[in-house]
């Protein structure tokens, strides 16, 4: 059985463990920067992030261990930074693809992708690194999704949409065809996006309206 570690020990870790249960993977350790947490699993130890490099000293071959960064929400930058940190020690990146999801054969998928239950990714779509396509989310044809993007549960992304790095699309949001979503933008839960959204903006409602524009409040 192949070994895997997670960085992150809250709800996303629970979701990912269920996902990897369909593979020949054994979760051997959890790490988290929050030292107040306890492990969500009785059979898997949780170590504070500051102890990671000490733990590493006792691992004979990091290249034989895979990893996932179990951090959701709008923390795409943190997810990608931790991904690169773990990879720098020789650990192997793993793409978690739930067996109930649909991923078209020619989808290009970056390292560390998390494609969760009942989600759909259609033809000619490109995903960046460390993306989360959450439960029952749908991405139609020819979309381009940047690094560290999180598409929330039940969100619907129409065809030819571009979502730049570290954007977050909330639960049940809808983005109409050929829309561009800027870097670090946040699309509120249930929003219906009918026009382009600039970087660092926050939009909510139907039709979606800006409640924070540009870098203000960041």
In angstroms, the CA 67 to CA 118 distance is 23
pLDDT value of residue 217: 42
pLDDT value of residue 216: 46
pLDDT value of residue 213: 85
Residue 40 CB neighbours (<10 A): 15
- Confirm if 123 and 140 have CB atoms less than 8 A apart: no
- Here the tokens at position 94 are 């793993």
- Give the predicted TM-score (pTM) of the model: 0.94
CA distance from start to end of the chain? 44
Residues with active-site annotation: 141
Low-confidence ranges of the chain (pLDDT < 70): 215-218
pLDDT value of residue 59: 87
pLDDT value of residue 35: 87
In angstroms, the CA 113 to CA 17 distance is 14
Cis bond upstream, residue 207 (ω within 30): yes
pLDDT value of residue 1: 84
pLDDT value of residue 215: 65
Domains, the chain, ranges and CATH? 2-94 (3.40.50.20), 95-205 (2.160.10.10)
- 34-39, long-range: CB within 8 Å, 24+ apart, which pairs? 34/9, 37/9, 37/10, 39/9
Which are the contacts of 49, defined by CB distance < 8 A and separation ≥ 6?
7, 31, 32, 33
């Amino acid at each position: 059985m192949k070994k895997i570690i997670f960085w992150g020990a809250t709800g996303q870790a629970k979701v990912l463990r269920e996902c990897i249960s369909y593979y020949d993977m054994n979760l051997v350790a959890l790490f988290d920067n929050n030292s107040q947490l306890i492990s969500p699993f009785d059979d898997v130890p949780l170590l504070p992030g500051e102890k990671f490099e000490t733990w590493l000293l006792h691992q004979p071959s990091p290249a034989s261990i895979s990893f996932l960064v179990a951090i959701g929400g709008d923390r795409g930058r943190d997810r990608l930074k931790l991904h690169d940190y773990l990879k720098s020690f020789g650990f192997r990146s793993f793409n978690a693809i739930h067996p109930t999801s649909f991923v078209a054969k020619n989808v290009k998928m970056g390292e560390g992708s998390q494609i969760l239950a009942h989600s759909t990714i259609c033809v000619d779509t490109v995903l960046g690194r460390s993306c989360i396509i959450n439960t029952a989310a749908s991405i139609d044809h020819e979309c381009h999704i940047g690094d560290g993007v999180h598409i929330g549960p039940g969100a619907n992304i129409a065809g030819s949409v571009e979502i730049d790095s570290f954007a977050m699309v909330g639960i049940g949001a809808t983005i109409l065809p050929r829309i561009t979503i800027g870097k670090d933008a946040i699309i509120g839960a249930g929003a219906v996006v009918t026009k382009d959204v600039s970087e660092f903006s926050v939009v909510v409602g139907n039709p979606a309206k800006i409640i924070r524009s540009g870098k203000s409040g960041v």
